[in-house]
Amino acid sequence: MKLLVFAHTPPPHHGQSYMIQLMVEGFGGDRDKGQSAANDLGIECYHVNARFSRSLQDVGEFQGWKIFLIFFYCFQAVWLRFRHGVTAFYYVPAPGKSVALYRDWLVMLLCRPFFKTMILHWHAAGLGRWLETSAQMRTRATTYRLFKPVDLSIVLSKYNVADAEKLLSRRIEVVNNGIPDPCPDFERRILPRRRARLAARRKIAAGGTAAGDGSETGLTGSEPDVLKALYMAHCTRSKGLFDAMEGAALANQALEGGHRGLRVKLAVAGNFPNTKEREEFEGLLGEPRFAGTVDYLGFVSGTEKEKALGEADVFCFPTYYFGENQPVNLIEAMAFGLAIVTTRWRSLPEFLPAGYPGVISAKAPDEVAAALVKAAMNDDGGMLRRHFLEHFTLEKHLANLAQAIRNVES
């Protein structure tokens, strides 16, 4: 089956662009550019790299040059349609944000008449609810008229189904995201260290001591008395950055009165799309309650990213971002067997094992603190690692995605 993919790959780097890159590569690459890696998934991919943003700061913002790019990319799509006989159009719809939605309108208006099959892949959640509760009636009616009916909607979760239903999708398939295993040596390299550090924290909390050089176990490494929490995402308020900081500070207050000798340190990794929020963050680092509690690593990738995930004890991501759906950073955290503290927000509770204790309310730093204190004494990393292997590997993702796409043609 021939598929026209109208979506961008990094840069800028975020979960959606990364997943598009994995999909295009997994389907054998862009056939128009002569890429034809061997695979048995039955999809021939033709890619329009529709990059409308140069940086994270540009994402979702109106800029005049983007209008020119819309026409340019749509011309590419129509050209590929006739040059290669591609009749299926794959598109990632916007979340509930006006500027991004207007872009979608233009793309549908210019491209849709030339393609027989329309496939939407809902990487963001919340468009349906936004249309019903926040958008004007004219906006809602125009969106329905330009999009529907959709031949196939691929959603990441059951929560996401409501978005697809709003556009009267003829077929809806739930396909989890999936990534290459970033920690294939988890059992040998990561798990023993995590268990040793947990044992050391429990011993310290009970009034004992643990050697800081790791001589008791050979595995705990430095600071066995510290629960090393990691925030790794775009550094924004709605992604939970400031709630994570406040939660870490509150957790240390609780530990001073309870588990003597233990403390929490939060490492923050990621870029700041918003200058004002970066200035606020830097100002907070100078306050006594955050000094020694929060460290900023900057944007990390490659070996630095693997080191941060491998050395952490818990992943703290108290997000309430309006388009949050199935974030790649939580999949990576599960792959590294990290305990997770995240919010009861949109698709996230469905994303984790049923009844997972690290799920808390949004905008609740006190609950972040309580969850971090609890994580200091518990070990559920092995369970989350198994959950990753069962549901979120790249191989499962690509196989299910290809099956859903092939089914719509038949």
The model's pLDDT over 104-120, given as tens digits with 9 standing for 90+, comes to: 999 999 999 999 999 99
Tell me which amino acid residue 102 is.
Y
- Mind listing the pLDDT tens digit for each residue in 76-100? 999 999 999 999 999 999 888 888 8
344-370 pLDDT, tens per residue?
999 999 989 988 999 999 999 999 999
Claim to verify: residue 347 and residue 209 sit in the same structural domain? yes
pLDDT in tens, 146-192: 987 899 999 999 988 988 998 889 999 999 999 999 999 999 999 99
Q: Are residues 148 and 230 in the same domain?
A: no
Is there a single domain that holds both residue 248 and residue 305?
yes
Tokens of 66: 């983007």
Are residues 231 and 285 both part of a single domain? yes
Q: What is the CATH number of the domain that holds 242?
A: 3.40.50.2000
350, with CB counted inside 10 A (0-12, 13-18, 19+), is middle
pLDDT higher than threshold 80 for residue 215: no
- On whether both 84 and 195 belong to a single domain, the answer is no
> Same domain for 201 and 139?
no
Question: pLDDT at position 214, please?
Answer: 43
Summarize the confidence of residues 13-17 as an average pLDDT: 87
Inter-CA distances, 23 with 5, 19, 281, 319, 358, Å: 10, 6, 35, 26, 30
Residue 34's pLDDT is 85
ω before 12 within 30° of 0 (cis)?
Answer: yes
3-state SS, 103-161, equals: HHHHHHHHHHHHCCEEEEEECCCCHHHHHHHCCCHHHHHHHHHHHCCCCEEEECCCCCH
Residue 57 has pLDDT above 70, yes or no: no
For the stretch 24-35, pLDDT in tens is: 999 999 999 888
d(CA 179, CA 153): 21
- How many domains are contained in the chain? 2
pLDDT at 220 over 90: no
Question: Do 161 and 225 have their domain in common?
Answer: no
Residues 198 and 86 in one domain: no
Output the pLDDT for position 395.
96
| Helix boundaries (H) for 56-115 | 64-84, 98-111
Rounded mean pLDDT, 305-322: 96
Shared domain for 384 and 322, answered yes or no, is yes
Q: In this structure, are 264 and 191 located in the same domain? A: yes
Residues 378 and 230 in one domain: yes
pLDDT at 63 (0 to 100): 63
Q: What is the pLDDT of residues 295-310, one digit of tens each?
A: 999 999 999 999 999 9
Averaged pLDDT for residues 238-263:
90
Domain around 111: 2-179+393-409
- Asked whether residue 251 falls in the same domain as residue 362, the answer is yes
Q: Is the pTM of this model over 0.75?
A: yes
